[in-house]
Structure 1
Amino acid sequence: MSAVLSIATPVFAVIAIGLYAGRSGIAPASDVAAINRFVFKFAMPAALFGLTAGADPIAGRDLILAGIYGASALTVMLTAYMIGLRLFSLSPPAAGAHAFASTLGNAVFLGLPIALAVEGWFKPFVVLMLVEGIGVIALGAALMDPSKKKGPLGYLAAPFRNPLVIGMAAGLVASFITSATNLNLPGPIATLLTTLGRAAGPAALFSLGLFLATTPRPPIAEVRGKIGAILSLKMIALPALMFAGLSVAGISEPGILGPAMLFSVVPSGVGAFVMASQFGHYEREAAAAIAVTTLLSMITISCVLVIYG
């Protein structure tokens, strides 16, 4: 429990600082867009590049774990997308943002530090991050990017114009080159990317707090159902599908179950807010969903650590 508090408390603190900055007038609402552009176009791509460039190739049981998560995430994302379209009458891009917030987890800035603190959890957790970074982010970008209206080619090309996807793809290429040639990035470039990547989490969390402070709250009756749907899919359905898939596959080792369940119960990721803001769809709902699921994750993460840690 102390590990959860030591990691989650700074996350809430940075959000609170953003809230204070907005409510006190230190930072105006216009700063949100500038910070989000920095996070979306520079800091987060650098963080994702570093993650993928330093990861080992996926093999063996990692492939099974990756497949189970991929199937679970795809099921949740498509379900959330249809709920957004049919139940809430959202536009296709807004439904895409709803689906993205229902699936993307705060793995990098909340889950990963916990996985690093538990022996043996890092590798399975990173495997899931790779699948999420390539599959979930790419699909989310395609669903939210209006350019998909230009036809099939525009739809297929949309994810690859997303800086987050570009950062992940470049990291995979760098990983392959490093393993094949034993060549590493020049020191100054590696340091630059590391510095940018470290700025992604604090900047995104501060921006989230500032956004919450400077944006009028949506009517409770209007948002409650949408946030409830996101919470149900992200914090209940996705973990249940993951656990069921692992059970069917005969995977019962705590060293795999633990990081897999941790990955599935982390709250909606800050990236959902960043991408929603970038594409101009569903920002208020994404921010509210992150706040609510982050509060709930104090319980879900604690349960995972008690059971498997």
Structure 2
Amino acid sequence: MGGILTGFAIIAVVVAAGYVSGRLRIGGPGAQEALNRIAFFVASPALLFTVIADADLAELFHAPLLVQACAALATAGLFLLVHAARLRLTASEATVGAVSAGYVNANNIGLPVAVYVLADPTAVVPVILLQLLVLAPVTLLLLDAQTAGRVSWGFVLAQPVRNPIILGSVAGAVVSATGWSLPDVVLAPLEILGGAAIPMMLMAFGMSLHGSRPLARGTSRAATATASVLKALVMPVLAYLLARYAFRLDDAAVLASVVLAGLPTAQNVYNYAARFRRGEVLARDTILVTTVVSPAVLLTAALLLG
């Protein structure tokens, strides 16, 4: 338990440093975007490459991945049911809400949690690949069809190869599958770059908390509340039930399943909403609310199951 609390304390301190930096405008008005972009395009791909290259691929794709997929689809489906009964959103807004309820922040928050709480950085890799290779293209396909009245397959299919996170993951998978042994002159710089990913992501997240005002008047509060409750509370409970009773996983795997399901809504969802200019406020507010609530959910899960 001491290790779990220490892990959360480490994350909290770095996030707080980012918040203070944003409040004091250290680095200027573009610091948050710069940290996010460097982490996304340089450090995170390097981190995922080194993690996956050193992992056993057969161990990445097992029952816990099915737990995450089932829990995500179930919560997204529940949002659509509530939408049909009460919310009455447009089709594209309903898509954004459903994705907000089931798409976890496996990169920015998931990687630090996997490192410091689960002590296993590979635990989050299957979720990252599932979301980027399957859920993201499906989301883009739906929004493209709903907003344009047609499907641009070229735009959708190009997303995986244009995403540096996917490219780094695939390259690492190739190295792992082939058993290549990379020379130190190649591996050492990537390990250094990858080591910068988590601090930059956490500090950028802390900066994003400064000045945010969720649930302002005139926004879709009911939809945000629905997506937030489903994401922050219902999805971890579903993951627990699936892991414990449907897949009968061991205690460590149950904890990992619940912790990963308890991660907040990913910032990618806002990027998708902004790309099509639909449901942007809904995505932004859900991300912020679930991000604020997530530490309490994760800590509770760790205390009960750890």
TM-score computed with the length of structure 2 as normaliser? 0.76
Matches within 5 A, 1:1-309: 2-58=2-58, 63-77=62-76, 87=87, 89=89, 92=92, 95-96=95-96, 99-100=99-100, 102-105=102-105, 106-116=109-119, 122=120, 126-127=122-123, 129-142=124-137, 143-144=139-140, 151-178=152-179, 183-213=180-210, 219=216, 222=219, 224-249=221-246, 251=248, 253-265=250-262, 267-268=263-264, 272-273=266-267, 276=270, 280=274, 289-309=286-306
User: For the Cα contact (< 8 Å) 2:75–2:98, is it kept in 1?
Assistant: no
Kindly provide the CA deviation profile for residues 120-175 of structure 1, in whole angstroms up to 9, marking residues without a partner as x. xx4xx835x23211111234543358878662343233233212122222221111
Indicate how the Cα distance of structure 1 residues 185 and 110 shifts in structure 2: closer, same or farther if over 3 A, else same: same
User: For the Cα contact (< 8 Å) 1:7–1:113, is it kept in 2?
Assistant: yes
Secondary structure of the equivalent of 1:104? coil
User: For the Cα contact (< 8 Å) 1:14–1:206, is it kept in 2?
Assistant: yes
User: For the Cα contact (< 8 Å) 1:11–1:205, is it kept in 2?
Assistant: yes
Deviation at 1:114, TM superposition (A): 1.5
Indicate how the Cα distance of structure 1 residues 96 and 293 shifts in structure 2: closer, same or farther if over 3 A, else same: closer
Deviation at 1:27, TM superposition (A): 3.1
Kindly provide the CA deviation profile for residues 157-213 of structure 1, in whole angstroms up to 9, marking residues without a partner as x. 3233212122222221111011xxxx3122122122222222222212222232333
The amino acid that maps onto 2:126 is: V
User: For the Cα contact (< 8 Å) 2:101–2:230, is it kept in 1?
Assistant: no
Distance, in Å, in 1 between the alignment partners of 2:256 and 2:233 is 16
Distance, in Å, in 1 between the alignment partners of 2:133 and 2:246 is 27
The amino acid that maps onto 2:234 is: A
More deviation, 188-197/289-298:
289-298
The amino acid that maps onto 1:177 is: T
Distance, in Å, in 2 between the alignment partners of 1:141 and 1:115 is 25
User: For the Cα contact (< 8 Å) 1:92–1:144, is it kept in 2?
Assistant: no
Q: CA RMSD in A?
A: 3.7
User: For the Cα contact (< 8 Å) 1:41–1:164, is it kept in 2?
Assistant: yes
Distance, in Å, in 2 between the alignment partners of 1:75 and 1:58 is 26
Deviation at 1:115, TM superposition (A): 1.4
User: For the Cα contact (< 8 Å) 1:15–1:208, is it kept in 2?
Assistant: yes
Kindly provide the CA deviation profile for residues 34-66 of structure 1, in whole angstroms up to 9, marking residues without a partner as x. 22221221112222222222221326x962332
**Structure with higher helix content:** 1
Distance, in Å, in 2 between the alignment partners of 1:306 and 1:91 is 39
Distance, in Å, in 2 between the alignment partners of 1:39 and 1:274 is 14
- Residue 119 of structure 1 is matched in structure 2 by none
Secondary structure of the equivalent of 2:118? helix
Distance, in Å, in 2 between the alignment partners of 1:147 and 1:268 is 25
Distance, in Å, in 2 between the alignment partners of 1:141 and 1:250 is 26
User: For the Cα contact (< 8 Å) 2:269–2:283, is it kept in 1?
Assistant: no
Indicate how the Cα distance of structure 1 residues 229 and 46 shifts in structure 2: closer, same or farther if over 3 A, else same: farther
Count of residues in correspondence between the two structures? 293
Distance, in Å, in 2 between the alignment partners of 1:65 and 1:22 is 37
Indicate how the Cα distance of structure 1 residues 100 and 191 shifts in structure 2: closer, same or farther if over 3 A, else same: farther
Distance, in Å, in 1 between the alignment partners of 2:208 and 2:70 is 33
The amino acid that maps onto 1:19 is: Y
Indicate how the Cα distance of structure 1 residues 249 and 277 shifts in structure 2: closer, same or farther if over 3 A, else same: closer
Deviation at 1:273, TM superposition (A): 2.6
Distance, in Å, in 2 between the alignment partners of 1:220 and 1:207 is 27
Deviation at 1:234, TM superposition (A): 2.0
The amino acid that maps onto 2:117 is: I
